C-alpha cells in the first residue's frame, strides 16, 4: 500500500509567523506555489498561508509589513509520512485543501498536494480507493444477485 512518504515533497518551503506579508507574497510568486506552511523556530507547524488569504490584501500597501501570523489559518490538518494515500484523499475530499503539511515527531517534514495524488495514480496506473467509501462503507453500492 502506498503511503504519503511515497508521493510527498520533502523539499518543502515554510515561512515564519513573524515574516511579513510582502515576504510571503514574494515566496509564493517566485516559487509558483499557492500556499506555505507557517513554521515556528523549532520546526512545529503553526498555520498555513495561501494566495486566497492574501489576495484581498495584496492591493493594500499598508498590509505589506504586517506579520504572516495575522493572515494565516491557524487550524491546520496534517498527515504523517506513514499514513496511507487514502488519508490525504479523504482530507482533500472533505475540505477545500490543495496541499497538506506532512508532520513527523511534531516537525514539518514535507508537503503533499492533490496534484501529487493525481500524478501517482497516472504514473502507477493504480487507482486510489474512493475516500468517502473508505470512511463510510455503507456508501459502497451493493449488487443484486
- Taken in order of first residue, the domains within the chain and their CATH numbers are 4-135 (3.10.580.10)
Grid cell locating 143: 449488487
- Helices 114-124 and 85-94: crossing angle in degrees, nearest 10, is 130
Q: Which of the four pLDDT bands, split at 50, 70 and 90, describes residue 38?
A: very high
Q: What pLDDT does 39 receive? A: 97
Q: How many CB atoms lie within 10 A of CB 11?
A: 7
Q: Which of the four pLDDT bands, split at 50, 70 and 90, describes residue 42?
A: confident
Give 73's DSSP letter: B
Q: How many CB atoms lie within 10 A of CB 135?
A: 13
DSSP E strand stretches across 4-118: 35-39, 45-50, 99-104, 107-113
Q: What pLDDT does 19 receive? A: 97
Average pLDDT of span 69-76: 94
Ranges 20-29, 83-92, 122-131: which has the least confidence: 122-131
CA dihedral over 13, 17, 20, 24, signed as positive or negative: positive
Q: Which of the four pLDDT bands, split at 50, 70 and 90, describes residue 136?
A: low
Q: Which of the four pLDDT bands, split at 50, 70 and 90, describes residue 61?
A: confident
Give 101's DSSP letter: E
Ranges 24-28, 47-51, 61-65, 132-136: which has the least confidence: 132-136
Percent pLDDT > 70 in the chain is: 86
Q: Which is nearest to 67 in space by CA: 14, 108, 12, 23?
A: 23
DSSP string of 102-142, one letter each residue: EEETTEEEEEEEHHHHHHHHHHH-PPPPPHHHHH-GGGSPP
Amino acid at each position: 500500500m502506498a503511503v504519503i512518504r511515497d508521493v510527498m515533497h520533502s523539499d518543502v518551503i515554510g515561512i515564519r509567523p513573524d515574516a511579513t506579508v510582502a515576504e510571503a507574497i514574494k515566496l509564493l510568486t517566485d516559487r509558483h506555489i499557492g500556499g506555505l506552511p507557517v513554521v515556528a523556530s523549532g520546526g512545529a507547524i503553526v498555520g498555513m498561508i495561501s494566495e486566497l488569504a492574501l489576495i484581498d490584501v495584496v492591493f493594500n500597501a499598508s498590509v505589506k509589513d504586517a506579520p504572516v501570523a495575522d493572515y494565516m489559518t491557524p487550524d491546520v490538518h496534517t498527515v504523517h509520512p506513514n499514513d496511507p494515500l487514502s488519508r490525504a484523499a479523504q482530507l482533500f475530499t472533505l475540505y477545500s485543501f490543495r496541499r497538506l503539511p506532512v508532520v513527523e515527531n511534531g516537525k514539518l517534514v514535507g508537503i503533499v498536494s492533490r496534484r501529487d495524488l493525481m500524478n501517482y495514480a497516472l504514473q502507477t496506473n493504480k487507482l486510489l480507493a474512493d475516500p468517502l467509501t473508505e470512511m463510510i462503507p455503507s456508501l459502497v453500492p451493493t449488487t443484486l444477485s
